[in-house]
Amino acid sequence: MTIFSLVIFSVATLAIVAVTLLPLSRNPHWLFRGADFPRLQFAALAGMLFVGEWFLLDLGHPIVWVLIALTVGCLGWQLAWILPYTVLWPTEVKSAKTSGAENALSILTANVLTPNREAEALLDLVRKYEPDILVTLESDQWWQDRLDSLEPDMPHTLKCPLDNLYGMHVYSRLPLENGTIEYLVEKDVPSMHALVRMRTGDRLHIHFLHPAPPSPTENPESAERDAELVIVARSVADSDEPIIVTGDLNDVAWSHTTRLFRKLSGLLDPRVGRGMYNTFHANYPFARWPLDHLFHSHHFTLRSIRRLPPIGSDHFALLTELSYAPVRGADQEGLQDDQDDRAWARSIADEQDAHKSDVPRPESD
């Protein structure tokens, strides 16, 4: 072992420790929140670093054991966050038992990437899988002109074409009632809210979201995104009606803020115990994480969830097929909030002057 190799491994270990500790802070700056995203990649790096330290350094040197302990600690911490999104973890949502079409509900969520012009790839997926509801993010007027070809089969729509990367469209085979487009936190970032009349005759409250991400090129902080997630979560928390929240949340499934959303809302994540279903970045297999989500109330069980083939976007589309089974799903439970979670949520919402009453709760006519 040389001094040079010891220095290199020491610097690498301190770097892994630093990126592991950053998300522990509730600072909304993108530097802190961004470290939540690549936990799988950080775990892989920590694993490789451990192997290097074990085989290339002198295990008789006390400082080497300090480096190994720090590396193993970081590896274990990162794995603790991502393991729920593997088959090693118990599922949170039950698998559906019935195959009847009447209880089925399928939703295709697709961030199309505004400059992407491969609309036919997405349309082919819609024709192949025939989802009940299609929601597109980043869709502008050009995309709307192409997506309107779906209207003969999916006549119920909500449309908000924008050129700022936050356009949004919904096309549905099932009736949409009292649909509304709202700007909950930022004046140029829409969300959509509606009642869906399912084939059973029951009505579903559905919320489509696409808050802005924390990044050096957009919002330097996650405060706006977090506030939108918090007020939507709080708005649905006391409801005993069927609820779905879906969209590109610009947050990973295992982050502190997504977990806060799940705790406050009581909604379930069908990916837990099944897989990560990484939808971004489609072009870089080594740098992918789950940004596109679907959360639902206990009224549903899962038929299937899958990441679909590329559509020319930097996101893959996500297809989630549920079964409306309120009796079978009644004992399903997600994460539970506590006093600290509620206090944190209040501070997030208050900072942006956002309130759960801002979130529409469409009612039947």
Neighbouring residues of 303: CB distance < 8 A, sequence distance ≥ 6: 95, 96, 99, 104, 106, 321, 322, 323
Q: For residue 79, is it within any domain? A: yes
Nearest to 268 by CA among 246, 290, 251: 246
Position of tokens 């919320």? Answer: 207
Q: For residue 99, is it within any domain? A: no
Q: For residue 94, is it within any domain? A: no
Q: What pLDDT was estimated at residue 362? A: 79
Rounded Cα gap, residues 83 and 53, in angstroms: 24
β-bridge pairing 318-324 and 243-248: unpaired
| Domain limit, last residue, from 51, 85, 119 | 85
Neighbouring residues of 88: CB distance < 8 A, sequence distance ≥ 6: none
307: which strand partners? 318
Residues 108 and 81 in one domain: no
| Domain limit, last residue, from 19, 51, 85 | 85
Residues 69 and 117 in one domain: no
Residue 110's CB: how many other CB atoms inside 10 A?
Answer: 28
Q: For residue 95, is it within any domain? A: no
Q: What pLDDT was estimated at residue 279? A: 98
Q: For residue 207, is it within any domain? A: yes
Question: Tens digit of pLDDT per residue, the chain (365 long)?
Answer: 678 889 999 999 999 999 999 999 999 999 999 999 999 999 999 999 999 999 999 898 999 999 999 999 999 999 999 999 999 999 999 999 977 889 999 999 999 999 999 999 999 999 999 999 999 999 999 999 999 999 999 999 999 999 999 999 999 999 999 999 999 999 999 999 999 999 999 999 999 999 999 988 888 999 999 999 999 999 999 899 999 999 999 999 999 999 999 999 999 999 999 999 999 999 999 999 999 999 999 999 999 999 999 999 999 999 999 999 999 999 999 999 999 999 999 999 999 999 999 999 877 55
- Tally of domains in the chain: 2
Residues 199 and 55 in one domain: no
Residues 60 and 160 in one domain: no
Residues 161 and 279 in one domain: yes
What are the DSSP E strand ranges found in 28-127?
104-111
Residues 256 and 285 in one domain: yes
Domain that holds residue 23: 3-85
Residues 59 and 129 in one domain: no
| Domain limit, last residue, from 50, 85, 120 | 85
Q: What pLDDT was estimated at residue 217? A: 81
The CATH number linked to 318 is 3.60.10.10
Q: What pLDDT was estimated at residue 365? A: 53
Residues 178 and 44 in one domain: no
Q: For residue 363, is it within any domain? A: no
Residues 154 and 57 in one domain: no
- Residue 37 amino acid letter: F
Q: What is the pTM of this model?
A: 0.95
Q: For residue 305, is it within any domain? A: yes
Residues 292 and 156 in one domain: yes
Residues 31 and 156 in one domain: no
Q: For residue 90, is it within any domain? A: no
Structure tokens at 101: 């079409």
Q: What pLDDT was estimated at residue 249? A: 97
Residues 237 and 182 in one domain: yes
Position of tokens 């193993």? Answer: 72
Rounded Cα gap, residues 177 and 135, in angstroms: 16
